[in-house]
Amino acid sequence: MATIHNLGFPRIGAQRELKKALEQYWNKAIDQAVLLETGRNLRQKHWQLQADAGVEWLPVGDFSWYDQVLDLSLLLGVIPERFQTAGAVSDLDTYFRMARGRAPSGEPASACEMTKWFDTNYHYLVPEFIVDQNFTLSSNRLFDEVTEAINLGHQAKPVLLGPLSYLWLGKVKGEPFNKLDLVEELLPAYGEILNKLKAQGVEWVQLDEPILALDLPTEWQRAFELIYTRLQVKGLNKLLAVYFGPLKENLTLACKLPVEGLHIDAVRAADEIGTVLSWLSSYQVLSVGIINGRNIWRADLDTLLETLQPIKERLGERLWIAPSCSLLHVPVDLAQEEKFDPEIRNWLAFATQKLDELSTLKQALDHGVESCAETLSNARQMINSRHSSSRIHKPDVKRRCADVTPKIRQRTSPFETRMRQQTYLGLPLLPTTTIGSFPQTAEIRQARHQYKTGELSETDYQAVMKNEIDLVIRKQEAMGLDVLVHGEPERNDMVEYFGELLDGFAFSQYGWVQSYGSRCVKPPIIFGDVSRPKAMTVAWSCYAQSKTDKMMKGMLTGPVTILNWSFVRDDQTRAETCQQLALALRDEVCDLEQAGIKIIQIDEAALREGLPLRKGDWQHYLDWAVNAFKITASGVSNKIQIHTHMCYSEFNDIMPAIAAMDADVITIETSRSDMELLEAFEDFHYPNNIGPGVYDIHSPNVPSVESIIDLMNKALEHIPAERLWINPDCGLKTRGWPEVEKALVNMVSAAIFLRTGRSGKKSDSNSL
Ligand code: GLN
Ligand code: ZN
């Protein structure tokens, strides 16, 4: 018999119950008992659902109030000093303070840093280690949940981030030291956890070590041997789980570790299965992560069975099957979706459906394909319909992609020539601009919502939006900004807006995926060849341009960002899908030129996020990503000024790729890092115009004129004034008008001062 297990189930709830309860608790609308009850109910429901699908070893510890890495920090007592209370044990409120930034006194304290979980769109809270870090078990939650699962009659398999991945993901604070020095302290703590679990009657524990799918320094590889040799608890089996990529040079290391089972990502590392099998010891279990935990497509069960059958013959009972990684990264249940086109719906599988797929695979492996012939045949039909559907395959789009030549991704002339031809724009030295969106007030959101539900007619909706654009233009003119924007009131989200207007996209009603804490995203689903039925932004941009004599910047989201924030089809490469997006957006850029827009910004907020986990794969990604951007940007004449925007500051390591995008102007986030980014310019000459952010839009504080001048002076040490712009870090949509107006007035004053040596308008320089 093959065994089904699961690495983790989405905890947020099919209806985002956890999100809602958390936010109510934080707003003091419910008390802790109600919150705890919501969590308990969700766990119970999710375990039952998994058990009903035939999952034999149920994950416990995958539930989290905020983040599983933060859970582990609490369990191990890794609580930064600013959150500690004298003598008190860490409780749920300490936990939320760490996540959300409050000292025990209630005063703001900087929250634990949050960063991307490998190459997913989930974010974890970064553990902070100090030089004499202690690890003392400080939370009972995991053990309590194990008891809870056992009492419900389940076979609990606790899930824990392994010691080395935990250390790797943390950050050293204060005096520098090698994180591996903490191993001696950390090991006994893990030993204690495992012993306690054993005492509770646990048979299997899953230790996640996803860093084995990364490029690891030799000393970290060696640490694996050392730690896992010592981490032995008699009678307790360890399943070492690796996911998100192939093991590559860590393969033999992983296979030789003294653990009772190994889980591999058989989706992303399908071609390693054979080698892993040949290294596996005769006592070890192999968990084959065969169902894609990172995507929402129905699996091709016939093909998967072909892979699994020989493994089953070889391993027998020692074969486990599972999703490739935790199902945290996919929505909960397709069954509750009511609005999908039936054809598209047939192609999909969310977390719950993925467990059903595992169950069918097990049935076929244990009892032969005849035993589930009907299910398999249904699945086959749907897969075949996807292969041949004219909803997906558009000969025109495919032809256009095949015809792409290097020429179409090249602007007509090099940057210097373009710059000369763009002087007609009449921009001053150090031009000021913003990144696109202005505060999205409740009224704007309401109007968009009412328009969607039909409560507001097209004409009335247009009127509300135009009104807002008028207002935003008047404000920008009054503030004295040089290049204006229309403010993006019509956009709910920078990706969804375009997805809804492009062909080849589908949207779920409840396809939420946790991004961090209570925040969820509902990624669009790119199911087919992408094309643009009609212009998407031109009317808004033209309307806005008609209302001002200043330059109005056209605004669209770039192909790489749309790709990276969507569920992407798996029947062609990401590069191909990205190229289709690029061609569709290129038409939009050309239409904007035709309509008289002279400056066009193509946002690539998520370009860096798409970097593969292994450095060796970076160049290939950067090549196609940069090419896609260039396809989008290069259909226009030299006179058109192309801007791009990126929401991060660490691009020292990808600077050549950023330069290769050849945007006339790039605006980036820098204010929080105090222009540290610009140090990269010492080693690498960035040739085009650049606007390093001088206003941290993540905070309600208003930057003073002096602080902006200071930042710009730092920037001027690295980049000549002729190539510098002055702008905020990012869009202003989440901010309030009063602070935004003050900040931008200060920004303009700083620009005037820097241009003329004289101060501009008098301004408020205090924070609100
Ligand atoms: N133009 C977008 C805005 O201003 C850019 C947002 C982003 O970079 N995340 O909102
Ligand atoms: Zn941004």
- Tell me the pLDDT tens digit for each residue of 498-521: 999 999 999 999 999 999 999 999
64 and 22 Cβ atoms separated by less than 8 Å: no
Q: Tell me the angle at which helices 373-388 and 301-315 cross, rounded to the nearest 10 degrees.
A: 130
Which residues approach ligand 1 with their CB closer than 6 A? 435-437, 488, 494, 555, 603, 605, 645, 647, 730-731, 733
For residue 552, the surrounding DSSP H or E stretch is strand 551-557
Q: What is the number of other CB atoms lying within 10 angstroms of the CB of residue 276?
A: 23
Q: Which of 438, 486, 488 to mutate to test the pocket of ligand 1 (most atoms within 8 A of CB)?
A: 488
Question: Helix, strand or coil for residue 16?
Answer: coil
Domain 428-440+474-493+536-759 in CATH 2.60.40.10? The answer is no
Please tell me the distance between residue 644's alpha carbon and the centre of ligand 2 in angstroms: 10
Contacts of residue 280, Cβ cutoff 8 Å, sequence gap at least 6: 255, 262, 286, 315
**What is the Å distance from ligand 1's center to 647 Cα?**
8
For 456-466, b where at least 16 C-beta lie within 10 A, e where not — what string? beeeebbebbb
33 alpha carbon to ligand 2 midpoint, in Å?
39
- In DSSP terms, which residues pair with 320 in a beta bridge? 3, 287
Written as six digits, the tokens of 401 are 């992609």
> Cα-Cα-Cα-Cα dihedral of 735, 739, 745, 747, to 10°?
-60
Quote the pLDDT of residue 766.
40
CB atoms within 10 A of CB 605: 23
Which pair of tokens denotes residue 764? 């408020």
- In the chain, list all ranges with CATH 3.20.20.210: 242-389, 428-440+474-493+536-759
**Residue 759, pLDDT score:** 63
Q: How far apart are CA 750 and CA 741, in angstroms?
A: 14
Residue 667 CA, ligand 1 centroid: distance in Å: 11
Nearest CA to ligand 1 atom 1: 436
Task: Give Cα 474 to chain centroid, integer Å.
Answer: 35
Q: How far apart are CA 145 and CA 28, in angstroms?
A: 25
What six digits make up the tokens of 334?
A: 């397709």
Cα 440 to averaged position of ligand 1 atoms, centre (Å): 12
Side-chain-side CA neighbours of 278 within 13 Å: the count stands at 6
Residue 731 CA, closest ligand 1 atom number: 4
CA distance 427 to 435: 17
| Ligand number, closest to the Cα atom of 697 | 2
Query: What does the pLDDT read at residue 670?
Result: 86
Measure 435 CA to ligand 1 centroid, in angstroms. Answer: 6
Please tell me what DSSP assigns to residue 514.
E
Alpha carbon distance 367, 54 (integer Å): 15
User: Which stretches of the chain drop beneath a pLDDT of 70?
Assistant: 86-90, 649, 758-768
- Cα(11)–Cα(63) distance, integer angstroms: 5
Distance CA 2, CA 285 (A): 11
Place of tokens 């999205």: 440
The residue nearest atom 6 of ligand 1, judged by CA position, is 731
* Closest residue by CA, ligand 1 atom 10: 731
Structurally, what CATH architecture does the domain formed by 242-389 represent?
Answer: Alpha-Beta Barrel (3.20)
Ligand (nearest to CA of 693)? 2
Position in ligand 1 atom list of the atom nearest CA 437: 4
Spacing of C-alpha 454 from chain mean position: 32
- Two tokens at 291? 């169902």
The ligand that comes nearest to the alpha carbon of residue 604 is 1
Which atom from ligand 1 is nearest to the alpha carbon of 647? Answer: 8
pLDDT tens-digit profile of 336-353? Answer: 999 999 999 999 999 999
CA dihedral 262, 266, 272, 275 (to 10 degrees): 50
Residue 67's contacts (CB-CB under 8 Å, 6 or more residues apart) are 99, 123, 124, 125, 516, 517
User: Is 387 labeled as catalytic in the residue annotation?
Assistant: no
Among all bound ligands, the one having the nearest atom to the CA of 498 is 1
Alpha carbon separation from 219 to 168, 250, 330 (Å, rounded):
12, 12, 34
Q: What pLDDT is stored for residue 674 in this prediction?
A: 73
Q: Using CA atoms, how far apart are residues 725 and 681, in angstroms rounded to an integer?
A: 16
Polymer length of the chain: 768
Q: In whole angstroms, what separates CA 95 from the centre of its chain?
A: 23
CA atoms within 13 A on the CB side of 36: 10
Q: Whose CA is nearest to atom 8 of ligand 1?
A: 605
Could you give the count of Cα atoms lying within 13 Å of 378 in the half-sphere of its Cβ?
Answer: 7
Residue closest to 73 by CA, chosen among 103, 105, 112, 35: 112
Residue 557 alpha carbon, nearest atom of ligand 1:
1
Rounded Cα distance between 173 and 516, Å, is 23
In 3-state terms, the chain is what percent helix, strand and coil (to 5)? 50, 15, 40
Catalytic residue among 329, 645, 698, 718: 698
